[in-house]
Amino acid sequence: MNMPDAQTFASWMDPTQWQAWLPKTDALPAGFPGMDLLRDAGATVRPEVLETLKNEYLAELGALWQGLLSGQAPALKDRRFSSAAWTGNPVTAFNAAAYLLNAKFLVAMADAVEASAQQKQKIRFAVQQLVDAMSPANFLATNPEAQQMILDTNGESLTRGLKNMLADMQKGHISLSDEKAFEVGRNLATTPGQVVFENPLFQLIQYAPATPNVKQRPLLMVPPCINKYYILDLQPENSLVRYAVEQGNTVFLVSWRNPDASLANTSWDDYTEQGVIQAIRVVQEIGKEPKLNLLGFCVGGTLLSTALAVLAARGEQPAASLTLLTTFLDFADTGVLSVFVDEQQVALREQTLAKGGMMSGRDLASTFSSLRPNDLVWNYVQSNYLKGNDPAAFDLLYWNSDSTNLPGPMFCWYLRNTYLENSLKHPGRLTVAGEQVDLSKIDAPAFIYGSREDHIVPWVSAYGSMSILNPGKPEANRFVLGASGHIAGVINSPAKNKRSYWINDGTSDDGAAPADADAWSAGATEQPGSWWPQWAAFLAEHGGKDVKARAKLGSARYKPVEAAPGRYVKEKAE
């Protein structure tokens, strides 16, 4: 793909010419977020702003041309163009620099559109998708690294690349990892345990103790149903499940079924009542304890909090403590995901799925990949297809490609009532499982974790749970901020001794953390390594006394069904 010249780009700065350019975006899916807004954007950009952008662009492009004519290669600070194949040749360096310049001003033009914050985010997202797709690194004709590899390998890299592409077309997704290197139950999800209960919606795993004594109160983990549970139990050295077991906890975990047509009518109420609440009941009976330590991750935390509010309305308080990892309770700021949620898009989903159907795991995976296209799409197009490389073995990316479906009614309820209308945080606005939901009625100390670079649950939104839970005794809540993103920030084992986290022990006179996330951050201190020991100490504080570990798993009523990881986690999305 050749980059446009100065005259072409200058014409883009003219609002009357945008329609001439926009038909080139027909390769995008119908209804792509922001495209309708982008088509109207020219009328809402101030002419003086466009004139300024045009003049700045022409000046910078002129400087690039002067450098090319004098034989000087421009500096390239983008890692996509860091190799000598790009920087060592003035022509290829100019091509990359021209792309970066055009990308810079296209994004600036999108930012200049006068619109609401949500509209502007949609416009910027659409433009960024186009900009990332147009990179000269994505095409064999303009990628000197890939061309050199063809010469160096006598064409073998091209043959391997075509083979990789055809294989991925059959699988229906781009291979991010060496998928032959991993198998769930063999070298992933290997913490010893037994499935002690199952229904059509989930299996409940009880893990074998690793210490002679355990805490009196069991720990129940509720992972997201949008992904498979073994993100919490990858390999032994980075397994949060194994770590919790080794800290002296009796650990139970919900393994959600990968829904098929038999679950096409399953609702949010079903996931709450037949899923989370049922799991709590079984763990209470097996553990012979009315109070449990409870953990929810991402949408698993949203489901868990909903279930606890339902139980509170029934006069039950089963939580000795509540841990929420990268979880939304307040959906006021959903970050970049908001580009996929508006009344029109939600109504369309409801029209097709609300009365029964399936939200495809492949579509969900594509949506999440589009949030980081250079990292999760184009990087692998370049490496796997253009250069003919085989992807490396990476457990987290293997998990990322192991997608799950969602029942249509449950998915539509979730979109409308949380992302679109933000009703969950408002006491009594929603009725779930026959009860009015009031999260403030949950009576349990809370450990709330956010990841600083999280693009799915912005950490400020995770911090919002601090004012929703325990409003009468905010000193019961604790917030920890981890480095990195939505997944890598959570899966940060002490064994790796990587990254860092932030805590703020400078609470107010009443013991409460600041109500404002920025105020909390201003007083926080950075600590090296993993935040897991902070969580382990919190669990120990609320785990009760030490008791002798039981060798037999399950109970007389709930006998082991099969060894962990069980059947459900191995089911692939249709």
Tell me whether residue 225 is one of the annotated catalytic residues: no
Residue 111 buriedness (CB in 10 A; 0-12 / 13-18 / 19+): middle
- CA dihedral defined by 137, 140, 144, 149, rounded to 10 degrees? 120
Q: Which residue in the block uniquely carries the two structure tokens 């868990």?
A: 304
Measured in whole angstroms, how far is the alpha carbon of residue 299 from the centre of its chain? 10
Residue owning tokens 């403590």: 321
Cα separation, 551 vs 206, whole angstroms: 12
Instruction: Pull the structure tokens for residue 541.
Output: 């504080």
N- to C-terminal Cα separation, the chain:
35
- What does the H/E/C string look like for 132-173? HHCCHHHCHHHCHHHHHHHHHCCCHHHHHHHHHHHHHHHHCC
Backbone phi, then psi, for 283, in 5-degree steps? -65, -40
Beta bridge partners of 255: 203
Three-state secondary structure call for residue 566 = coil
Strand-strand pairing, 219-222 and 292-297: parallel
Q: How many CA atoms lie within 13 A of 309 on its CB side?
A: 29
CA distance 495 to 499: 12
Residue partners of 384: CB distance under 8 A and separation at least 6:
161, 164, 165, 168, 174, 175, 390, 391
Out of 123, 298, 365, 437, the active site residue is 298
As a three-state string, the secondary structure of 478-520 is: EEEEECCCCCCCCCCCCCCCCCEEEECCCCCCCCCCCCCHHHH
Backbone angle region of 422, left / alpha / beta, with phi > 0 → left and psi within -120 to 50 → alpha: left
**Residue 451 β-bridge partners:** 482
Q: Which residues contact 494 (CB under 8 A, 6 or more apart)?
A: 243, 529, 530, 532, 533
Cα–Cα nearest to 335, from 488, 519, 118:
118
Locate 471 and state its tokens.
């409003």
Q: Do residues 15 and 45 touch, judged by C-beta distance below 8 A? A: yes
C-beta separation of 138 from 103 below 8 A: no
CB-based burial label for 357 (10 Å; 0-12, 13-18, 19+): middle
**Coil, strand or helix at 31:** coil
- Residue 246 and residue 53: Cα distance in Å, rounded? 59
- Read off the amino acid at residue 416: R
Integer CA distances (angstroms), 395 to 185, 402, 433, 485, in order: 13, 11, 37, 16
Q: Which residues are catalytic?
A: 298
